[in-house]
Structure 1
């Protein structure tokens, strides 16, 4: 696929996917959703970590509402089912960690696009807005699933009902995101995090995603059994053997991702 609304750059096991419609604050349209879906799926086959970020002053302002003609004919249920679900599930099902590097405003579906990623890192100037009630809608793009599980029901309800801006610092304090970084060091910080993951035990990371996602629907005994299964698989990897030898030799491990 030739991308027109995003860019993708791969280097040293890291795939950086950048939303690239800065003139509309990287608002999501049909083409961008398809391109993100494709890029994440393809990156997951080749990279050891995927980063999703934005160009300009926004990460993503959510659904593109600028086209009045298409808006009047929009079937929201169909759009969510056929376009948003594949995009979001591409991130959830990606076999390697996906980092959202939130460089600016993340509003509506754009906020939830960031929050569905495995790790969300934001510049301190970034804000998160569940802007849906401002136009008479409910949070979508996974917001009603992610928010109660990360920040609790009271804060999730407040964020949805009031549609207030939530600063990156507040989001980090609440546990909505992993960390907020001063703007001047933001790119260096997320690149360092991504580099760490790209040089880590990829097979273990894959299974961490699987067991963490399964935990929300499993009883304790089911989860313990799944942990045992996944740990057994990790124990057969070359990276496990390398990690143990590095520990015994008192040296940094040189993981190959196998």
Structure 2
């Protein structure tokens, strides 16, 4: 489909999805959410790693408050259930790694869209802001799920109640995100990170995602069973055989992925 609110590119196993409404700091409207969902599904078939990033000076400023139909009273619940939820679940269940390359401010639903990814890499100038209470709302778009898990309960509560920005470097120290990178190196760095994953063992990455995400609701016995099951599946892949052979031959492996 032709895209208007996002950009989509695939090269050497890497799909880059760019939120592309820089005039409104990439605020999310219905069109962007529809295009983003389609692009995520497409990239899951076409690529071995997906990167989400933003055009211009922001990653995403959250819900477009000028999108009247979406913010009018009872419309909020419908939009969250029908438009946000499928996008967030597509990221969560994606069979390949998803990186959020947070180039600037990530606010409201935009912050939680970023945090839904498997790995978050931010420019040092980026900030994360749970802005919801500033307009009489509570965090949504998965914020109440991700924040306590990634930042801890006390920090999640403070972010949600006070609606104060959290710097990229503080987000790293809190465990919210993977790393913060100097702005001058940012794009080169996240592209190198994504390229590394694009050349890796795709099935193993998918198993890592599944096992870690499922661990929140599993007992130790259940998790040990799941590890054994997934490891058994990986043990018969060509990439495992190649990894072992490369190790024995003291060379870099050449994974096929998928």
State the TM-score, normalizing by the size of structure 2: 0.98
- Which whole-Å CA distance do the structure 1 matches of 2:109 and 2:161 have between them? 15
- Which whole-Å CA distance do the structure 2 matches of 1:91 and 1:70 have between them? 22
In the other structure, the counterpart of 1:45 is 45
Relative distance call for 1:116 and 1:164 in structure 2 (3 A) is same
Contact (CA 8 Å) 2:29, 2:67: kept in 1 or not?
Answer: no
User: Which runs of no fewer than 5 residues in structure 1 stay unpaired?
Assistant: none
2:155 aligned with 1:155: yes
In the other structure, the counterpart of 1:122 is 122
In the other structure, the counterpart of 1:253 is 253
- Which whole-Å CA distance do the structure 2 matches of 1:200 and 1:111 have between them? 28
- Which whole-Å CA distance do the structure 1 matches of 2:232 and 2:113 have between them? 33
Contact (CA 8 Å) 2:5, 2:35: kept in 1 or not?
Answer: yes
User: Which runs of no fewer than 5 residues in structure 2 stay unpaired?
Assistant: none
Provide the aligned C-alpha RMSD in A: 1.0
In the other structure, the counterpart of 1:66 is 66
4+ runs of 1 displaced by more than 6 Å? none
In the other structure, the counterpart of 1:85 is 85
In the other structure, the counterpart of 2:238 is 238
Aligned residues: 258
Deviation at 1:69, TM superposition (A): 6.4
Alignment partner of 2:101: what SS?
A: strand
Deviation at 1:67, TM superposition (A): 3.7
1:1-258 equivalent positions in 2, closer than 5 A: 1-68=1-68, 71-72=71-72, 75-258=75-258
Alignment partner of 2:217: what SS?
A: coil
Alignment partner of 1:216: what SS?
A: helix
- Which whole-Å CA distance do the structure 1 matches of 2:69 and 2:11 have between them? 40
Relative distance call for 1:196 and 1:24 in structure 2 (3 A) is same
Deviation at 1:73, TM superposition (A): 5.9
Deviation at 1:70, TM superposition (A): 5.5
Deviation at 1:54, TM superposition (A): 0.3
Which 10-residue stretch deviates more, 107-116 or 1-10?
1-10
Alignment partner of 2:138: what SS?
A: coil
Alignment partner of 1:233: what SS?
A: helix
Deviation at 1:40, TM superposition (A): 0.5
- Which whole-Å CA distance do the structure 1 matches of 2:240 and 2:69 have between them? 56
- Which whole-Å CA distance do the structure 1 matches of 2:78 and 2:67 have between them? 18
State the TM-score, normalizing by the size of structure 1: 0.98
Contact (CA 8 Å) 2:70, 2:76: kept in 1 or not?
Answer: no
Relative distance call for 1:142 and 1:69 in structure 2 (3 A) is closer
